[in-house]
Structure 1
């Protein structure tokens, strides 16, 4: 996975700042340039009465520039990342960002959380939902309050792994990205179960633990160029399992569902639970054809 150009969707307020913070940290670590985009309501598709139409277009343009000025002020102290600013009209903010990503040949899209979520958690709103079901490039989501309590740098990538072709490909891409970013990689598998366990249940859990540990050991073979750790996380649910690992300075990578379309982001049930439960940023990567090599972000290279 190569990330050379990041598109960050921006809206006024704290959640927009959360997304910008993650975008800057990712761009800085990957050596990428950043484009900050505000998707606004479109102007009328057909011309209306001359004066009204002109006034509406001027109002929309002025509002968009005001929003982008806020983003410029927030990034005024960023000197080590090249930043551009752009506005785009679309009825759906997520679909508008997908259009811009294609037009600008961005390698990833970054946004903040939807309003109303808990601090330190990601809430999926309409923008994220559109991106998570249509984007041809990886989508990274920042948790609420990330701008206030973010790490000084992204220091590790973590991949939520289960043995299937989509996860195998996500791991391959994560190894490539970790090498480019010069950060260690951690592979985690979640083993879920709740309540008190009898002898049979405990034995079954032990076998599952042995199996996923063997799967993790197998997938890391031959990757000596990146420091990698493996970990089995256990808990009654996804949130409890993720609470058992250190996510400080990390970004969690999830594979798209095997049932989703090729070359598109498409989360499964477990991935959605991970997104909503993770105490750190999460990146969803598109589903790639089995054995596909090269950048996951550029459609012309896939």
Structure 2
């Protein structure tokens, strides 16, 4: 920083401090992260002061109502870089950290990992990145509570004990089938094989293979058909996109990435993406996108990734 002006130096330190606050407050901070932070903080008295200031701001941001906090993939513009950094990280404060869900769960996966687990009845559940389930079996039924994320179920048939997956607002009931359930902004059910009855209050829909159901913003249960195999290709470590807007693609990549990905402008967000990518190395996917699309990618403090058009 010797060649920087005082203003540039302060800006750089503020960005680094914001990144460290976000990193250390995340659900998957490691001992190595904490060692690196201690080294960074000890290098300069200004680092400690900036970290304290950003920690206070982070605490204040935590009081912002969820309804006004940006969510994953939200585009932001018209702010300074440090402001963008905090807007990008604010999604963590508005969302659950995941610690409580993992504590309550019987099976879970960390960010970027996919896990396959055998249940007591012979059913198999595959958990997508950052997902958690709770298993509640009794003599009458087999219930799975999807606490967070997304899961795919290969259900062992047993007509006497229905297999029920409870999302945040819906239930998906099957008697021997293959289907996925996802919770988040809206519950979503996707059927690969067999039949699944999806209920929300008095609303009910029976899905066949290729059928999908989702709650809309008004609490209505909507059904459609789609490429369930492609949408659940994450089971084999692949992410498949076909002409989707870059903003949607980055929001999906963000789920597998240790950090935050923020799109800065509508032009970049609207670019179309098609391809098959590996879910295990999101940094490599971002490099491929930068090489093939008119975008520029900037990484701040090794934790927040900004994407803009060029």
Q: Name the structure, 1 or 2, with higher relative contact order (CA <8 Å, separation 6+).
A: 1
TM-score (norm 1): 0.28
TM-score (norm 2): 0.28
More strand by share: 2
More helix by share: 1
